[in-house]
Amino acid sequence: MSLVSKLPDVGITIFTVMSKLAVDHGAINLSQGFPDFEAPAELIEGVSRYMRQGFNQYAPMQGVPLLRQRIAEKAERLYGAKIDPESDITVTSGATEALYAAVSAVVRPGDEVIVVEPAYDSYVPAIQLNGGIPVFIPLRFPGYAMDWDRLGDALTPRTRLIILNSPHNPTGTVLEAADLAALRQIVSGRDLFILSDEVYEHILFDGREHQSMLRYPELARKSFVVSSFGKTYHATGWKIGYCVAPPDLSLEFRKIHQFLTFTSNTPIQMALADYMAHTDHYRELAVFYQRKRDLFLKLMESSRFKPLPCAGTYFQMMDYGEITDTPDEAYARRLTTQYGVAAIPPSVFYHDRRDHRVLRFCFAKQDQTLIQAAERLCKI
């Protein structure tokens, strides 16, 4: 029997490729988006404590009730959203699982799904595996602004889902209140859904406020809102995320979730619920990461790389057009093997491999890591 791939055009993710290349060549890894510093010590101790106390069996499929209650409380505090933790919140094994479950819950063969590019690389495979048809809308380079007129024109009676991501990976752009006003006008009266990837919801700079779909009841009624504890608590390897959606959408979401991972790590959920009860760690992230962004930009001032605006996330896009016209994927490999710094080539996040001669650098690193990386980059 011969195997016919369901994803014939998909290879190993660029994050895996670049991280392995960094290890093989002893390079500083500013490619894959993970910190090189630890999660809060109190949170780690909480996980260990719950393991010792015997919380090592299955959690409820929807997630630990107390953690879902904490998520609901935070959403009301931040966004004014009234959320039922029993019917509206599902804890997942990372945000990627939540994204897949949301797509699977609503996309049927032949349905069209709006994908804003550059797009995180799990979106399109999830659409294709469910028989959907991706419809691509590019952000406007170099500012990576949303083209709402173009998005509105792309909607058809077959449009089932719009996938949005703010703060945006890889570009660092964010949706503002005016963007959400445009979105509300576009989707008003339309029979479609929104998948809002908000995993960097707490990492916005220069006084910006996150414009969650949960702020707007008319959008929240249509939306799966996905977030990530890994990004918030510097613990990406724990793979704990969640999805907030109204009861009818959550019901369909959970039908998929229960056959993907069924449930997620119990002691980690218990520790997160405790930690959220007495600390507002997430409120510190904007200042914490803005300082790292500003440090990295200061260190790179004497380089030949030119920064593009970064309003959120922990990624900085850098234009290298003054250095070379080498395509970004080839240049990312050269940067890793010859200069000892790994970055991500954003062309891999476009279906047509659109290449603006920029690279994405992750600044969620210790200051010394950023200093060492910048020293190498400034010598180019």
Q: Is the pLDDT of residue 2 over 90?
A: no
As a dihedral over the C-alpha atoms of residue 293, residue 298, residue 302, residue 305, rounded to 10 degrees, the angle is 20
In DSSP notation, 286-331 reads HHHHHHHHHHHHHHTTTSS-EEPP--BSSEEEEE-TTT----HHHH
**How confident is the model at residue 299, as a pLDDT?**
98
Band the pLDDT of 1: cuts 50, 70, 90.
Answer: confident
Report the candidate in 104, 132, 113, 116 with the shortest Cα–Cα distance to residue 249: 104
CB hemisphere CA count around 105 (13 angstroms): 29
| Three-state secondary structure call for residue 98 | helix
Phi and psi at residue 41, in whole multiples of 5°? -60, -40
In DSSP notation, 321-375 reads TTT----HHHHHHHHHHHHSEE-B-GGGGSTT----SEEEEE--S-HHHHHHHHH
- Vertex 232: Cα angle to 226 and 233 (nearest 5): 135
Average pLDDT over every residue of 350-360:
97
Band the pLDDT of 302: cuts 50, 70, 90.
Answer: very high
**How confident is the model at residue 368, as a pLDDT?**
98
Q: Is the pLDDT of residue 119 over 90?
A: yes
Q: How far is CA 166 from CA 46, 111, 252, 313, in A?
A: 30, 24, 24, 9
Q: Residue 353: left (phi > 0), alpha (psi -120 to 50), or beta?
A: left
Q: Is the pLDDT of residue 26 over 90?
A: yes
Tell how far CA 267 is from the center of its chain. Answer: 24
Band the pLDDT of 10: cuts 50, 70, 90.
Answer: confident
Q: Is the pLDDT of residue 12 over 90?
A: no
**How confident is the model at residue 9, as a pLDDT?**
86
Average pLDDT over every residue of 259-288:
96
Report the candidate in 113, 96, 98 with the shortest Cα–Cα distance to residue 254: 98
Q: Which residues are registered as beta bridge partners of 341?
A: 28
As a dihedral over the C-alpha atoms of residue 232, residue 233, residue 234, residue 239, rounded to 10 degrees, the angle is -80
First to last CA, the chain: 52
| pLDDT > 90: percent of the chain | 95
**How confident is the model at residue 115, as a pLDDT?**
98
Average pLDDT over every residue of 115-128:
97
Average pLDDT over every residue of 334-361:
97
Q: Is the pLDDT of residue 15 over 90?
A: no
Q: Is the pLDDT of residue 69 over 90?
A: yes
Determine the Cα–Cα distance for residues 228 and 239; give it in Å rounded to an integer: 8
**How confident is the model at residue 350, as a pLDDT?**
97
Average pLDDT over every residue of 266-292:
96
Average pLDDT over every residue of 12-24:
91
pLDDT digits (tens, 9 = 90+) for 203-212: 999 999 999 9
Q: Is the pLDDT of residue 11 over 90?
A: no
Q: Is the pLDDT of residue 238 over 90?
A: yes
**How confident is the model at residue 322, as a pLDDT?**
96
What ranges make up the beta strands (E) of 56-211? 89-92, 112-117, 133-138, 159-165, 193-197
Lowest mean pLDDT among 65-74, 131-140, 277-286: 277-286
Residue-range domains of the chain with CATH: 14-39+283-377 (3.90.1150.10), 41-281 (3.40.640.10)
Q: Is the pLDDT of residue 287 over 90?
A: yes
Report the candidate in 161, 88, 165 with the shortest Cα–Cα distance to residue 130: 161
Average pLDDT over every residue of 145-165:
98
